[in-house]
Structure 1
Amino acid sequence: MADFSRLPGPNADLWDWQLLAACRGVDSSLFFHPEGERGAARSARENSAKEVCMRCPVRAECAAHALAVREPYGVWGGLTEDEREELMGRARNRLITTSSGTPASA
């Protein structure tokens, strides 16, 4: 479940980037998988969503938002759920390595 405490408050300046998003007006089902979707169907849908993201002028802001709030669902800023989870895991490992001085796997 998303951690809503990480979401910024209702400050329009923090959310205005969404008004410029290429996905505005696109059916949200392109970005969020239906129950039970797997394999080739899921890959095809995610690739179609990523095509929209790749032409988006606010892709970086969108991806940063999804990573900051640990958005668990959908394609955001051209990143799938699995890709965001992998990036967050790498960031956690770097923090652990940096703070302890040894790799997380050691």
Structure 2
Amino acid sequence: MSDVARQPGSAQRSWQWQSRAACRDLGSGRFFHPAGERGDDREERDAAAKRVCAGCPVRSACLAHALHTREPFGVWGGLTEEERRALLEGREPALSGRGRR
């Protein structure tokens, strides 16, 4: 019989915060840009995503997850991939989008 005492705990606990996320029923299109999206279209989509994040009760958990896993795409915890990359590199992120707070 296998010794399960050394196995990690339930993955559910690690992801429980997502059940309370403001974006949970909105679909990914608002948070991840389609191929080739640039300029005003991308800034407007990012700003719309950031407005959702601004009122989210689990924003900090979402951002912590994205930074920890180094999420390469999308708006997570109110920051774009470029803004998260700047934080990880120890630079001040240049906040983009019209939804700044």
Whichever residue aligns with residue 49 of structure 2, its letter is A
Match of residue 100 from structure 1 = none
Q: How do residues 74-89 of structure 1 correspond to structure 2 at under 5 angstroms?
A: 74-89=74-89
Match of residue 33 from structure 2 = 33
Task: Looking at secondary structure, tell me which structure has more helix per residue.
Answer: 1
Match of residue 3 from structure 1 = none
Q: How do residues 11-50 of structure 1 correspond to structure 2 at under 5 angstroms?
A: 11-50=11-50
- TM-score if structure 2 supplies the norm length? 0.79
- TM-score if structure 1 supplies the norm length? 0.75
Supply the distance in 2 between the matched residues of 1:83 and 1:69 (Cα, whole angstroms): 15
| Residue-by-residue CA offset, 1:17-43 (whole Å, 9 max, x unaligned) | 000000011021000000000111000
Match of residue 62 from structure 2 = 62
Q: What is the percent sequence identity of the aligned residues?
A: 56
The aligned length equals 84
Match of residue 4 from structure 1 = none
Q: 1:90 to 1:28 in 2, by over 3 A?
A: same
Instruction: Give ranges in structure 1 of 5+ residues lacking alignment.
Output: 1-7, 92-106
Instruction: Give ranges in structure 2 of 5+ residues lacking alignment.
Output: 1-7, 92-101
Whichever residue aligns with residue 23 of structure 2, its letter is C
Supply the distance in 1 between the matched residues of 2:44 and 2:77 (Cα, whole angstroms): 17
Q: 1:38 to 1:25 in 2, by over 3 A?
A: same
Q: 1:9 to 1:89 in 2, by over 3 A?
A: farther
Aligned-residue CA RMSD (Å): 1.7
